[in-house]
Amino acid sequence: MKTLKFLKLPLILSLFFVLISAKTDDKETERVHNAANVLKEFSKMKESIPRQLLEEYEGIVIIPKLINAGFGIGGKRGRGVAMVKLGKDKWSDPVFVTLTGGSIGFQIGVQSVDLVLVFQHKGVLTKVENGDFTIGGDISAAAGPVGRSSSASTDYKLQAEVYSYSRSRGLFAGISVNGSNLAIDKTANNRFYADTASSQDIFASSKSDKEAVKVLKESLTAF
């Protein structure tokens, strides 16, 4: 009987670690699903991100439920994903990122918004690697043009490095992200991909077979 118990112990431990590893990326999987839902909700809006913009620009950051709070001095905090183009209608696997920022001025209350940042050049994101960068200064975000079709913004000069779109309660919400810090969430990347791949490696790849990633890419391609 003792021998049988000892034989069962490794099996029990193996099962335990399998269950633990299956749970470790739950939060990240939820974050990817939330990002896909943000795109789906944006696509339902009467005025949305012009398709021309997504066709010409090379990177995107999606922050679901960004908390924008303030009482005199304001602050922003959110977790989301970043992706870059690898070719026509082909996007990289998502890299997990965080966005934090503050502002000074009269403001009060707490607001939850879905934030989408569209980047003209993917190098701005892929070069972040293990560090971070502040939106503002040389790389500033402007309020993006809106329109349902690719022709909706043909008269709009698409020159900004980053265009910002924020949505609250089904409507566009004005929110400034200049001065905010965008950083790679290395812990989340390691949990989700179960390895120590750098953000540059993930940005260069599109091989993830996770269902949440597939849904996110389909939502972005169909936007």
Residue 25 confidence class, pLDDT cut points 50, 70, 90: low
Give the span between the Cα atoms of 216 and 223, in whole angstroms. 11
Lowest mean pLDDT among 33-47, 98-112, 157-171: 98-112
First-residue to last-residue Cα distance in the chain: 61
* pLDDT on residue 149: 54
Give the span between the Cα atoms of 96 and 82, in whole angstroms. 6
Residue 134 confidence class, pLDDT cut points 50, 70, 90: confident
Lowest mean pLDDT among 74-78, 97-101, 102-106: 102-106
Burial zone of 17 (CB within 10 Å; 0-12 exposed, 13-18 middle, 19+ buried): exposed
Residues 6+ apart with CB under 8 A from 11: none
Residue 102 confidence class, pLDDT cut points 50, 70, 90: low
Has residue 21 got a pLDDT over 50? no
* pLDDT on residue 81: 97
Burial zone of 215 (CB within 10 Å; 0-12 exposed, 13-18 middle, 19+ buried): middle
3-state secondary structure of 37: helix
Residues 6+ apart with CB under 8 A from 21: 194
Q: Identify which has the larger pLDDT, 42 or 104.
A: 42
Q: Identify which has the larger pLDDT, 70 or 142.
A: 142
Q: At what angle do helices 26-44 and 186-193 cross, to 10 degrees?
A: 100
Are 109 and 70 within 8 A, CB to CB?
A: yes
Largest Cα–Cα separation, the chain: 81
* pLDDT on residue 150: 46
Are 25 and 130 within 8 A, CB to CB?
A: no
